[in-house]
């Protein structure tokens, strides 16, 4: 996300070069300590997880940057023809998502009781969550956007061969077995 911020602000100094040195601080508690004691100038973390800290005056919110890619994915290792994902995981996850979407109050109660969110914040988070319509389908535009961000950041080269069969499983057919990273 540091590269996304630098790109949005026009701070990138050539491919993959930031105008600042990111400091790895650890978990959220360590990040809060770092900005309080001055060993870090700022940090980026998920909105609702940090909201209670700036609501309490412990932190100051200075901005927000949505990620240019999906917030979550399911990844699995192994033979794509195994079938266990399609047979067991995908239907179970679809059932859980359906239950979640049909039982907002239950979800909000659980989140506010177990994740240190206020009821209002849990409800607002719930209202923002979007799930894919087809769980077994890869969002190719999302993948291309993430790759473009990684290329701009210098993490991968434009001409790097990407083993799409490994990265995307059956969805790799869209680009072939070992295509070049999309431009």
Report pLDDT for 179. 41
**Chain-centre distance for alpha carbon 89:** 21
Helices (H) then strands (E): counts for the chain: 9, 0
Report the chain's terminal Cα–Cα distance, integer Å. Answer: 20
Report pLDDT for 82. 66
- Phi and psi at residue 158, in whole multiples of 5°? -60, -30
Q: How far apart are CA 40 and CA 31, in angstroms?
A: 8
What residues of the chain score a pLDDT lower than 70? 14-16, 70-82, 158-183
| Nearest by Cα to 66 from 130, 18, 16, 133 | 130
Report pLDDT for 75. 64
pTM of the predicted structure, to 2 decimals: 0.69
The three-class DSSP label of residue 151 is helix
Cβ contacts of 168 within 8 Å, gap of 6 or more: 138, 143, 174
Report pLDDT for 23. 83
Report pLDDT for 176. 37
Q: Which two tokens stand for residue 83?
A: 């079938």
Report pLDDT for 12. 75
Q: How far apart are CA 109 and CA 39, in angstroms?
A: 37
pLDDT tens-digit profile of 51-97? 999 999 999 998 888 877 766 666 666 655 567 777 888 889 889 99
Each domain of the chain, given as residue ranges in start order, spans 2-55, 140-174
């Amino acid at each position: 996300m540091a590269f996304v911020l630098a790109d949005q602000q026009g701070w990138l100094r050539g491919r993959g070069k930031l105008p600042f040195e990111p400091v790895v601080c650890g978990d959220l508690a360590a990040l809060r300590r770092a900005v309080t004691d001055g060993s870090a100038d700022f940090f980026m973390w998920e909105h609702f997880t940090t909201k209670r800290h700036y609501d309490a005056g412990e932190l100051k919110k200075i901005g927000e940057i949505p990620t240019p890619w999906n917030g979550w994915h399911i990844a699995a290792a192994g033979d794509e023809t195994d079938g266990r994902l399609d047979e067991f995981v995908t239907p179970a996850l679809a059932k859980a998502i359906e239950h979640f979407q049909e039982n907002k109050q239950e979800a909000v109660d659980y989140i506010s009781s177990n994740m240190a969110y206020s009821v209002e914040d849990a409800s607002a988070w719930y209202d923002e969550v979007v799930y894919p319509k087809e769980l077994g389908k890869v969002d190719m535009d999302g993948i291309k956007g993430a790759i473009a961000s990684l290329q701009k950041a210098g993490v991968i080269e434009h001409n790097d061969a990407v083993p799409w069969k490994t990265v995307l499983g059956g969805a790799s057919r869209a680009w072939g077995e070992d295509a070049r990273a999309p431009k």
